[in-house]
Structure 1
Amino acid sequence: MCSEGTFSFYRQNAVDYAARNRTLPIRRLDAFLSDLPAGASVIELGCGGGQDSAYMLSQGFEVTPTDGSAELAAQAEALLGRPVEVMRFDELDAEDAFDGTWAEASLLHVPRTELPGVLERIRRALKPGGILHATFKAGDAEGHDGFGRYYNYLSAELLSDMLGGTGWHQIVISEADGIGYDHAPTRWLAMRAQK
């Protein structure tokens, strides 16, 4: 799953990472939520400091926040006032349980060889018609950033190939420029798929 360098970064920097001045992806979040029924159940994979889960809860959705880092989960719990499950992506074993999966800048840490299996776990966890939102850093070759975090650095074509013929439909992948935690210019892929 995630590399030790990735886990080590989040373990050692949980307080600063959770408290960073981060702009919520409101436009993407609102678009995702508008595709779900009112009060729908959403699992957030890699909730970080919990800001996205807090927004979804404020909009009346039933949210299950999760993170692979116990330290980040503790930060999210402090913000949300509710338990956050410590769970790696490859530990997701729910079936037909959620209307939506929100994975903003989290699945980008899954090794390329393991990503199809994780995507299948997510598909199984969604109810029929359920929606997956995920964002990735675009690139040609997997590697690490200056903090030692692993990234799968996918192209839109490779991501589309991974999803094709696997039970996902209405797949939409868009690209946009932005920045990452390191403030470096970043090309982002945003993906939406339906079970």
Structure 2
Amino acid sequence: MRNTDFYERNADAFYGDTVTTDMAPIYERFLPLVRLRGRILDAGCGSGRDSLAFLQRGYRVDAFDGSSEMVRRARALTGIEVRQLMFENLLDTPLQETYDGIWCCASLLHVERDRLPSVMDVLCHALAPDGIMYVSFKYGETARLKDGRRFTDLTEQGLDEILATIGGCELNDLWVTDDQRPGRADRWLNAIVRTI
């Protein structure tokens, strides 16, 4: 079973649960670090909620997601072309674009732990000089399956270990938050990585 199978089967419910989640506090930490009207990649865009928010603030946005159903909904919400792409495919066909910001909100957590350094390296190298990447993971140290989806949880130490293997970028900011969705008790590790 692929991670995307869950999203193909549950696209309407997932879209409804996430599209109106208030991400403003995180935007306020990320966007001031991105060049004004710069180019942002929404990597693993899900519903397209964040792509739309960035477009409305005057940024140029590219987006991709692994699920064809989420791609369809994100296209409808944002009006932009959204590619269907898995993070693992970036290892075979790295991004050629240069982005001022890359947004990986609750998306890299589906990449296997041993592949995360390679995937994050590709993303970091798709950033412009002084580029910024936001990442978030459920807080913890486990690799697990839930509802047919693979999750890689990270703590501060786990993220530090990954970043230590990647050249050309460094940790800029790190914080832990509670889940913003109603009825959820998850904690999230949030980080902003900057190119150096």
Q: Does the pair score TM above 0.5?
A: yes
Q: Residue 189 of structure 1: SS of its match in structure 2?
A: strand
**Residue 15 of structure 2: aligned partner:** 18
**Residue 189 of structure 1: aligned partner:** 189
- The number of residues matched between the two structures is 190
Q: Residue 37 of structure 1: SS of its match in structure 2?
A: coil
Matched, 1:151 2:151: yes
Q: Is the 8 A contact 2:174 2:192 kept in 1?
A: yes
Q: TM-score, normalised by structure 2?
A: 0.90
Change (3 A) 1:144 1:164: same
- TM-superposed deviation, 1:23: 1.3
**Residue 135 of structure 2: aligned partner:** 134
Matched, 1:51 2:49: yes
Q: Which range moved further: 26-35 or 130-139? A: 26-35
Q: Determine the C-alpha separation between the residues in 2 that align with 1:129 and 1:38.
A: 13
Instruction: Please give the per-residue CA displacement for 1:95-154, whole angstroms capped at 9, x wherever unaligned.
Output: 461011001110011110000000011011111111000110011221022x22211011
Structure 1, unmatched stretches of 5+, are none
Q: Determine the C-alpha separation between the residues in 2 that align with 1:116 and 1:174.
A: 20
Matched, 1:9 2:13: no
Q: Is the 8 A contact 1:90 1:121 kept in 2?
A: no
Q: Is the 8 A contact 1:97 1:125 kept in 2?
A: yes
**Residue 78 of structure 2: aligned partner:** 80
Q: Residue 134 of structure 1: SS of its match in structure 2?
A: strand
- TM-superposed deviation, 1:5: 4.4
Between the aligned residues of both structures, percent identity stands at: 31
Q: TM-score, normalised by structure 1?
A: 0.90
Matched, 1:60 2:61: no
Amino acid at match of 1:194: R
Q: Determine the C-alpha separation between the residues in 1 that align with 2:181 and 2:111.
A: 17
**Residue 124 of structure 1: aligned partner:** 125
Amino acid at match of 2:120: L
Q: Is the 8 A contact 1:174 1:189 kept in 2?
A: yes
Q: Determine the C-alpha separation between the residues in 2 that align with 1:43 and 1:133.
A: 10
Runs of 4+, deviation exceeding 4 Å:
none
Q: Is the 8 A contact 1:95 1:124 kept in 2?
A: no
Q: Is the 8 A contact 2:22 2:180 kept in 1?
A: no
Q: Determine the C-alpha separation between the residues in 2 that align with 1:137 and 1:151.
A: 8
- TM-superposed deviation, 1:190: 0.1
Q: Determine the C-alpha separation between the residues in 2 that align with 1:170 and 1:105.
A: 18
Q: Determine the C-alpha separation between the residues in 2 that align with 1:176 and 1:80.
A: 27
Q: Determine the C-alpha separation between the residues in 1 that align with 2:85 and 2:2.
A: 17
- TM-superposed deviation, 1:180: 6.1
Q: Determine the C-alpha separation between the residues in 2 that align with 1:149 and 1:84.
A: 22
Q: Residue 74 of structure 2: SS of its match in structure 1?
A: helix
Amino acid at match of 1:7: T
